[in-house]
Structure 1
Amino acid sequence: MNYDTFIDQVAQRTRTPSEQAVELTRAVLETFAERLTGGEVLDLAAQLPRPLQLVLKPHPGIEQADRFGAAEFVARVALRADVQEPAARDAVRAVFTTLREAISGGEFDDVATQLPRDFRGLVEQSMAPGATLRRG
Structure 2
Amino acid sequence: MSDDAFLARVRDRGEYTSREEAAVISHAVLAVLAQHLGREGACRLAARLPERLAGTVSASCGAEAEDLEVEEFCRRVAGHTGIRPRTPQWDIHAVVSTVADALSPGERGALRARLPIGLTTLLDPEPPG
Q: TM-score range by the shorter chain?
A: 0.7 to 0.9
Change (3 A) 1:2 1:80: same
Aligned residues of 1:34 and 1:58 also touching (Cα < 8 A): no
Aligned residues of 1:44 and 1:108 also touching (Cα < 8 A): no
Percentage of pairs with the same residue: 28
TM-score (norm 1): 0.82
Structure 2 unaligned blocks of 5 or more: none
Deviation at 1:116, TM superposition (A): 3.5
What residue number does 1:126 align with? Answer: 123
Deviation at 1:114, TM superposition (A): 2.3
User: Is 1:35 paired with 2:45?
Assistant: no
> What is the RMSD of the two structures over their aligned residues, measured on CA atoms?
2.1
User: Is 1:103 paired with 2:100?
Assistant: no
> What is the CA deviation profile of residues 29-83 of structure 1, one whole-angstrom value per residue up to 9, with x for unaligned ones?
0001111120111111111111111011243642x21122011111110110113
**Structure-to-structure mapping, 1:17-96, within 5 angstroms:** 17-59=18-60, 61-62=62-63, 64-84=64-84, 86-96=86-96
The amino acid across from 2:24 in the alignment is E
TM-score (norm 2): 0.86
Aligned residues of 1:24 and 1:91 also touching (Cα < 8 A): yes
**Structure-to-structure mapping, 1:9-20, within 5 angstroms:** 9-16=9-16, 17-20=18-21
Q: Distance in 2 between matches of 1:85 and 1:39?
A: 34
The amino acid across from 1:79 in the alignment is G
Task: Say how many residue pairs are matched.
Answer: 126
